[in-house]
């Protein structure tokens, strides 16, 4: 009898142990399903690819502390993903770059006018484009409501560039993309030593670029390091803003609803500032004024 009781005790202990182990395994693999009126969620491992992007401020290595503070302060209320970059054209140590996104490039199709301009001068440099060539506009080039260009009429590159770059004319940009060709644009990017910019498209230019590359392009144009001093100076002339008042400084800029790239040439304190946003750009007047004041003193 004692032997039977002892045997039953052992069996009971073993069964309890099996049930205990099974219970732990079940809890570890259990999923909680919360069912609403139309949706169901599963509590388990989080899919990090579906989480909203962190907007933690990232500061580029070597950034000047005071310039960084200006950028951070003036862009503190910006919720859209952005990249911002500024650098002196006189002192290479005076530079700063910040972003609140991990992306290396931002979609910026409105900046296509800059890259069409670069493509044109790349064609000039390799002699695939002649300055005295007139380009005939095709019906397919014309955007809806076009008033500045007519199909079947030939226009100079100088006129087309003025429309495309200064006015953002979509029809002129289509003519330039068709005749300048994507190969010349990519050749220009290589000469400019860009790192993040990607362009594509046959009828409309699709652009992904960065604030770093925009600043680099303007800096290298200013220093005559892309197509040579003469052609670079000509390219910059298409970006020159209309002068207001009596001032010795000159401003070259390319703007869009999602950002801008600006080069201020005022002699001893010349600098570049670029910003790109994945969303509509906010008013940057106060930021550019702060940068003007800072560079004027440093």
Residue 291 belongs to some domain of the structure? yes
Q: Which residue would you say has higher pLDDT here, 66 or 244?
A: 66
Q: Are 84 and 71 a contacting pair, CB within 8 Å?
A: yes
* Domain assignment present for 7: no
- Does the residue 40 lie in any domain? no
Token pair of 164, please? 């495309």
Does residue 139 belong to any structural domain of this protein?
Answer: no
Q: Is residue 208 part of a domain?
A: yes
Gap between the Cα atoms of 277 and 261, Å rounded = 12
Q: Which domain holds residue 59?
A: 54-128+181-297
Cα–Cα distance, 209 to 189 (Å, whole number) = 11
In a domain, 154, yes or no: no
User: Residue 76 domain-assigned?
Assistant: yes
For residue 231, what pLDDT band results from cuts at 50, 70 and 90? very high
Q: How many domains does the chain have?
A: 1
Asked, for residue 175, whether it belongs to a domain, the answer is: no
pLDDT, tens digit, for every residue of 139-187? Answer: 999 999 999 999 999 999 999 999 999 999 999 999 999 999 999 999 9
pLDDT band at 238 (very low <50, low <70, confident <90, very high): very high
pLDDT in tens, 73-132: 999 998 899 999 999 999 999 999 999 999 999 999 999 999 999 999 999 999 999 989
E strands along the chain, which residues? 32-35, 40-43, 58-59, 82-88, 95-99, 106-107, 134-136, 154-156, 198-200, 206-209, 250-256, 259-265, 271-277
Q: What is the CATH number of the domain that holds 69?
A: 3.40.710.10
147-184 b/e with 16+ CB inside 10 Å = b? eebeeeeebebeebbbbbbeeebbbbbbbbbebbbeeb
């Amino acid at each position: 009898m004692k032997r039977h009781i002892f045997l039953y005790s052992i069996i009971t202990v073993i069964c309890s142990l099996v049930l205990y182990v099974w219970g732990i395994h079940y809890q570890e693999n259990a999923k909680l399903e919360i069912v609403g009126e139309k949706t169901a969620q599963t509590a388990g491992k989080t899919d990090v690819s579906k989480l909203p992007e962190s907007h933690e401020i990232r500061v580029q290595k070597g950034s000047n502390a005071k310039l960084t503070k200006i950028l951070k302060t003036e862009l503190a209320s910006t919720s859209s993903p952005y990249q911002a970059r500024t650098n002196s054209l006189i002192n290479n140590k005076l530079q700063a770059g910040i972003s609140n996104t991990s992306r290396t490039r931002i979609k910026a199709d409105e900046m296509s006018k800059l890259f069409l301009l670069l493509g044109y001068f790349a064609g000039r440099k390799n002699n695939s484009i002649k300055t005295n060539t007139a380009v005939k506009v095709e019906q397919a080039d014309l955007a809806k409501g076009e008033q500045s260009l007519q199909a079947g009429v030939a226009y100079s590159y100088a006129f087309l560039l003025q429309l495309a770059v200064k006015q953002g004319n979509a029809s002129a940009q289509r003519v330039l993309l068709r005749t300048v060709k994507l190969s010349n644009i990519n050749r220009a990017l290589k000469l400019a030593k860009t790192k993040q910019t990607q362009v594509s498209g046959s009828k409309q230019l699709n652009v992904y670029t960065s604030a770093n590359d925009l600043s680099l392009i303007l800096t290298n144009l200013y220093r005559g390091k892309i197509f040579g001093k003469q052609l670079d100076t000509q390219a910059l002339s298409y970006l020159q803003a209309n002068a207001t008042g009596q001032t010795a400084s000159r401003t070259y800029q390319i703007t869009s609803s999602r950002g801008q790239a600006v080069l201020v040439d005022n002699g001893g304190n010349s600098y570049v500032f670029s910003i790109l946003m994945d969303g509509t750009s906010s008013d940057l007047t106060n930021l550019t004024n702060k940068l003007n004041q800072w560079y004027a003193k440093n």
